[in-house]
Amino acid sequence: MFKGMDISKVTELYDPSFTWDFVKRLKDTTTMKLVLKGIVTREDAEIAVEHGVDGIVVSNHGGRAEDTLRPTIECLPEVVAAVKGKIPVLVDGGVRRGTDVFKALALGATAVGVGRPQAWGLAAFGQSGVEAVLVILRRELEKIMRQAGTPSIRNITRASVAL
């Protein structure tokens, strides 16, 4: 898959040579689904769709790449609008509570990634800590769904949140 690619000069976490041409080449090289993480603007979302990606993850990489820019929840609506339902839009970053999951779904996310709370649960209590985090997130999500009058995930819409 990487035949002909010179990766010997990749010395940093974010290589500037990873361009849209690279994305096209990667898409053309594999039959696997290609999901891009780190899309935070309407323009990049539109270009990703043009290049045939199969999904997008709205992410600022835990703030490590863009620590002074907008949080992912603020980027989500414009990315969702840009893809026009053509591909799934996932979101990660800043998800700490079930209400965060609810808001992301209401703003159009297809799915929500949760990282740090699970890591904290793992560090504190191992597998049972991760399981406890997931139970808490689910309980909080179900509670806010009841409070908002949304009996199922498909009933969560943009009207469910105030901007």
Contacts with 100 (C-beta within 8 Å, 6 or more apart), sequence order: 73, 94, 112
Distance between CA atoms of residues 69 and 66, nearest Å: 6
**Across the chain, what does the average pLDDT equal?**
90
Among 109, 74, 78, CA closest to 94: 74
Q: Contact at 8 Å (CB) between 34 and 26?
A: yes
Beta-bridged to residue 58, according to DSSP, are 91
Domain boundaries, given as residue ranges, for the chain: 8-94, 114-163
Domain 8-94 coded CATH 3.20.20.70: yes
Q: Is 51 a catalytic residue?
A: no
- Among candidate residues 24, 42, 61, 116, the one labeled active-site is 61
Looking at residue 6, its pLDDT comes to 78
Query: Is pLDDT of 46 > 60?
Result: yes
Least confident of 46-55, 59-68, 112-121, 128-137: 59-68
C-alpha torsion 99→102→103→109, nearest 10: 140
pLDDT per position as a tens digit, 53-86: 999 999 987 555 555 678 899 999 999 999 999 9
